[in-house]
Structure 1
Amino acid sequence: MNIWKSVAAAAVVALASGPALAARADLVLGMPLEPPHLDPTAGAAAAIDEVLYANVFEGLTRIGSRGEVLPALAESWTVSDDGKLYTFKLRTGVKFHDGTDFDAADVKFTLDRARADDSTNAQKALFAAIESVDVVDPATVTVTLGTPQGSFPYNMGWGDAVIVAPESADTNKEKPVGTGPFKFDNWAKGSSITLVRADGYWGEPAALEKAEFRIIPDAAAAVPALLSGDVQALPNFQLGDALPQVQSDPRFKVVIGSTEGETILATNNKKPPFDNLKVRQAIAHAIDRKAIIDGASGGFGVPIGSHFSPANEAYVDLTGTYPYDPAKAKELLKEAGLESGFKTTLKLPPVGYARDGGQIIASQLREIGIEAEIIPVEWADWLKQVFTEKDYDLSIVSHTEPNDIGIYARKEYYFNYDNPAFDKVIEELNLTSDVAKRNALYGQAQKILADDAVNGFLFELPKIGIWDAKVEGLWENSPIQANDLTKVKWME
């Protein structure tokens, strides 16, 4: 097996150079979806950040493994008493991987670019509060907000807010250039993306010299790759019936963690008949979450009743708002004038939880007279048709962005949801920094979404991490969509 060949080779090198056996310095990680491109500031696909966040690209701040806000390219920051002026003190001596210097001008370029009228940033709303970005000196930048925003340092830690340089911004989709501990080496499209350790990194150098992200769409192929040693880590993979086999093998560590992935039956709220609340309520009553969790997440998903992570202290359990009740669902359809049911479509991206969950949901909807035609689509087609063009009826997807309930206040977002009462809560939340008050507002927002049955709220996607028992430093949970390799190493 390849893993033993690698170990043997390492042993030969160690014998030639000294008595100690050198630890491995390469790692192959399997991931189910290939990124559509490699620029975190220009795409919504989680797979982009899963390769590049904290590894190649860095922001002013970063999100740590426990969801905490940490310094990154900004070593510190202060905020004015009125909460509108942030002053970031930047690290000095930092270079981009192409040799150009990082300074305050790059921060201004990045933030102005992200909030520009022609911005292609998938999370442009993160920057909406910014009124101006000013360079004080090469190591100091100020950001003036139109209104206070207690979440601003957290927002600057998203992958969509990583700092890019004007010299390389236009080519980052194919050849990403960042400031992180790894630099881009190669992208064999359809196969793998390779990163290598960056020389001269401003912070603690990475222990790994090379990391390859291997694209393995099918869990049936991922298991033999893991068992043979061709792949040493599957940081976020649904293995289904094969999981017990890996769990019983002492060569591997299996960690069941949490994510920020609210898995939903996405619904086009402006498209008839889904613009009728009674129809959406009927669908909510038709959903048996336990059956979906068992069939689409190996039983590891945590049921949700709104768009919020159960791991968050502000979470409110609203799963009882519309309990599984097919008879009630049929009554609601009758009240909506659809006693005979109707036909619809269900577009499913190529991930296991969506394809498996889609079969189960289609069966559950059929019980109340809704015939859902399943339409499998590739990830790029899902982003184009569903997310961008809003050309869909129903879909299944997991929203892995951190703490993203505010997306429901975006008028052009693909759910086509519009509720002034909800918008008012989010507006107040953006102006509030007190933790207790923010949590209360989060609770109000969750209840509005649950009552409106905006989407079918299914479960929080579990993070099933599997890797060689000698590998340490991979994240057990996913507070943000990332495979952070900065602390990953092999134990001798």
Structure 2
Amino acid sequence: MTRQTGTLSLDRRALLGGAAGALLAPGVRAQRANDVLTFIEGSDFDTLDPAISRTRSAEILFYVMFNRLVRWTDTSLSAIGPDLAESWTISDDKLTWTFRLREGVRFHDGTAADAEAVKFCIDRLRDPAFGSPNRSLYTAITAVTVVDPRTIRFTTEQPHAGLLENLAESSASISSPTAIRRHGRNYGRNPVGSGPYKLEEWAPGERTVLTRAVPSARFRQIIYRPVPEGEARLIELEAGTADIATGIPPEATARVRANPRLKLEVIPSSFQVFFELNCARPPFNDVRVRRAIQFAVDREAIVQRILGGFGTVPDSFVAPGVQSYEPIGKHPYDPDRAKREIAAVFPGGFPEKIVMWTSSGRYLKDQQVAEAVQGYLNAIGLQTEFRAWEWASYQQTLYRRTPNVPGTGYGTNAAHMWVLGTSIPTADWRLSRRYQTGQSANILGYSDPRVDDLLNRARVTLDPAARLDLYHQANRLLWQDNPPNIPLYNQSQIIAMQRGISNFNAFAFEIPLLGEVSKS
């Protein structure tokens, strides 16, 4: 981890007009009491139900609102340890996992966080009628059996090398069955967990307030606020109305370094941002075009000129920090080659406009990067149409199920390509959820039987070296032979905070551990 000190100046407040004035209104500094932690970043979420959430911003809160059976014990993801479960065993045939739960744990509504609750939540994830986007993580589990109130047993048909990794995912957070039954599909607005903090208030687009649920929790309140404009986030830090802000614009890091009241954390990330390609419709249903377009984008220029060097050019299908990472080699920038290879498929040029979608404010400089890619595509003779979206609407549109729509079946057919990113660190989930045939997050219509076979074999291979080799083979196919996306950059986490913040840490998959932070 690189730790740097920095500053924020307010010389651009005028650009934000009344918003800046509101941030500096009298009395707002009082919010920075040492028992209140205010955390801001660029995007909001649309649900606080861990079983259906797709957003990292919500996941940040899940880590302090809920327990899982097991958890990652360090930010390098080198080991898994107890959480709601205090211990576990696996049978000799590797098909039965038995977990012993901690005694006396209760949800915030007073009900027991026992084996029946675990069964309810895991069965809910596995139920195809429920439709969790994370369901494929748990379908290898064929039975969930309550042995007694403190003992739960999982059965699988085949050995499952990644089961503990999957149970450490935020989607496996254990919720109160009583609350789920009471609120139904509105549970995402009324979540109830057993973690150190509980939900007090959620005003979408404005703020989410968590309050202390156990005496050992460090803060009376944790306040999460979405602030899409990077400049506004900087002003909040300068004004003292926020304690921690993520997604600091690269050009603002000099301001951070010069301010003695602030400090900067630049943390390596497993996050890779890419343009996903709609493989269900022309021109990207032809693998030759998907290969050719890799040469159209100058990634080094994007990293240096737009990101200010706060990122790296991808040299593999996944970023460093993902379990299956291996350096393969960067795609060279060769627009003439891209033009020639596309002309071989469409001698008269592709006749339609390429519809490009991007989020705005979700990823580091996402809209600016997408606009640069638009320019690169125009330069090789492709016509393009561009649209930027607010994150919550973007998510809902991309993943909306639209009956009788050919190809993806998710309502994405209005676009040929769209910006997304992922920091998922576990190899199976990182590769399978978007690129294995039929998976719930495979919204691009990608299918390669060779990739499917390699991922299926890796899932049941318990030898770590043999399993890793299978993932490496899948990486190479996805990177070179049959690419489903245009990798753009590996993102660094640029986080600014008040100097009184200590014990700050974050997973490489961009989840700050707010429950561990101290403030003075």
Same fold by TM (over 0.5)?
A: yes
State the one-letter code of the partner of 1:168: A
Distance of aligned partners of 1:331 and 1:94 in 2 relative to their CA distance in 1, 3 Å threshold: same
Pick from 49, 56, 67 the counterpart of residue 59 of structure 2.
49
Tell me which stretches of 4 or more aligned residues in structure 1 moved more than 6 Å. Answer: 1-10
Partner SS, residue 190 of structure 1: coil
| Counterpart-to-counterpart distance in 2, 1:278 and 1:113 | 41
For structure 1, which segment, 421-430 or 40-49, has the greater mean C-alpha deviation from structure 2 after superposition?
40-49
Q: CA deviation at 1:281?
A: 1.4
Pick from 192, 195, 208 the counterpart of residue 193 of structure 1.
208
Gaps of 5+ in 1: 11-22
State the one-letter code of the partner of 1:238: I
Q: Is the 8 A contact 2:270 2:508 kept in 1?
A: yes
Partner SS, residue 255 of structure 1: strand
| Counterpart-to-counterpart distance in 2, 1:472 and 1:121 | 36
Correspondence 1:383 to 2:391? no
State the one-letter code of the partner of 2:46: P
Q: Is the 8 A contact 1:149 1:430 kept in 2?
A: yes
| Counterpart-to-counterpart distance in 2, 1:386 and 1:104 | 36
Partner SS, residue 186 of structure 1: strand
Distance of aligned partners of 1:356 and 1:240 in 2 relative to their CA distance in 1, 3 Å threshold: same
Task: Map 1:208-287 onto structure 2 (within 5 A).
Answer: 208-234=219-245, 236-287=246-297
Distance of aligned partners of 1:370 and 1:9 in 2 relative to their CA distance in 1, 3 Å threshold: closer
Partner SS, residue 199 of structure 2: strand
Task: Map 1:441-456 onto structure 2 (within 5 A).
Answer: 441-451=470-480, 452-456=482-486
Q: CA deviation at 1:276?
A: 0.9
Partner SS, residue 427 of structure 1: helix
Determine the structure 2 residue equivalent to 1:424: 453
Distance of aligned partners of 1:276 and 1:469 in 2 relative to their CA distance in 1, 3 Å threshold: same
Distance of aligned partners of 1:118 and 1:89 in 2 relative to their CA distance in 1, 3 Å threshold: same
Q: CA deviation at 1:40?
A: 1.5
Correspondence 1:364 to 2:376? yes
Q: Is the 8 A contact 1:296 1:354 kept in 2?
A: no
> Quick one: percent identity of the two aligned structures?
28
Task: Map 1:84-483 onto structure 2 (within 5 A).
Answer: 84-169=95-180, 170=184, 171-199=186-214, 205-234=216-245, 236-312=246-322, 314-320=324-330, 322-342=331-351, 343-351=353-361, 352-388=364-400, 389=410, 390-391=412-413, 392-403=415-426, 404-407=430-433, 408-412=435-439, 413-451=442-480, 452-475=482-505, 477-483=506-512
Q: CA deviation at 1:76?
A: 1.4
State the one-letter code of the partner of 1:297: L
Q: TM-score, normalised by structure 1?
A: 0.91
1:413-466 Cα deviation digits (max 9, x unpaired): 112110000011001110112221122112111101012121001222211121
Pick from 45, 53, 58 the counterpart of residue 35 of structure 1.
45
State the one-letter code of the partner of 2:498: D
Distance of aligned partners of 1:256 and 1:481 in 2 relative to their CA distance in 1, 3 Å threshold: closer
| Counterpart-to-counterpart distance in 1, 2:81 and 2:392 | 33
For structure 1, which segment, 166-175 or 455-464, has the greater mean C-alpha deviation from structure 2 after superposition?
166-175
Q: Is the 8 A contact 1:269 1:275 kept in 2?
A: yes
State the one-letter code of the partner of 1:406: S
State the one-letter code of the partner of 1:459: Y
Q: Is the 8 A contact 1:122 1:160 kept in 2?
A: no
| Counterpart-to-counterpart distance in 2, 1:127 and 1:9 | 42
Q: CA deviation at 1:238?
A: 3.3
| Counterpart-to-counterpart distance in 2, 1:439 and 1:259 | 20
Determine the structure 2 residue equivalent to 1:13: none
Partner SS, residue 515 of structure 2: coil
Q: Is the 8 A contact 1:41 1:160 kept in 2?
A: yes
| Counterpart-to-counterpart distance in 2, 1:480 and 1:327 | 36
For structure 1, which segment, 324-333 or 64-73, has the greater mean C-alpha deviation from structure 2 after superposition?
64-73
Determine the structure 1 residue equivalent to 2:5: none
Q: CA deviation at 1:296?
A: 4.5
Number of residue-to-residue matches in the alignment: 471
Q: CA deviation at 1:66?
A: 2.2
Q: CA deviation at 1:143?
A: 0.3
Partner SS, residue 418 of structure 1: coil
Partner SS, residue 167 of structure 1: helix
Q: Is the 8 A contact 2:44 2:392 kept in 1?
A: no
Distance of aligned partners of 1:400 and 1:216 in 2 relative to their CA distance in 1, 3 Å threshold: same
Q: Is the 8 A contact 2:295 2:332 kept in 1?
A: yes
Distance of aligned partners of 1:78 and 1:309 in 2 relative to their CA distance in 1, 3 Å threshold: farther
Q: Is the 8 A contact 1:96 1:178 kept in 2?
A: yes
State the one-letter code of the partner of 2:373: I
1:114-148 Cα deviation digits (max 9, x unpaired): 00121232211100100000001111100001211
Correspondence 1:73 to 2:103? no
State the one-letter code of the partner of 2:462: S
| Counterpart-to-counterpart distance in 2, 1:224 and 1:241 | 14
State the one-letter code of the partner of 1:30: I
**In angstroms, what is the RMSD of aligned CA positions?**
2.2
Determine the structure 2 residue equivalent to 1:16: none
State the one-letter code of the partner of 2:349: S
| Counterpart-to-counterpart distance in 2, 1:333 and 1:48 | 40
Q: Is the 8 A contact 2:321 2:425 kept in 1?
A: no
Q: Is the 8 A contact 1:206 1:487 kept in 2?
A: no
Q: Is the 8 A contact 1:30 1:233 kept in 2?
A: yes
Q: Is the 8 A contact 1:473 1:485 kept in 2?
A: no
1:372-408 Cα deviation digits (max 9, x unpaired): 2111122233223323423321111111333311221
Gaps of 5+ in 2: 1-22, 401-409
Distance of aligned partners of 1:456 and 1:8 in 2 relative to their CA distance in 1, 3 Å threshold: closer
State the one-letter code of the partner of 2:438: K
Q: CA deviation at 1:248?
A: 2.2
Partner SS, residue 346 of structure 1: strand
| Counterpart-to-counterpart distance in 1, 2:104 and 2:98 | 19
| Counterpart-to-counterpart distance in 2, 1:411 and 1:150 | 21
Q: CA deviation at 1:478?
A: 2.7
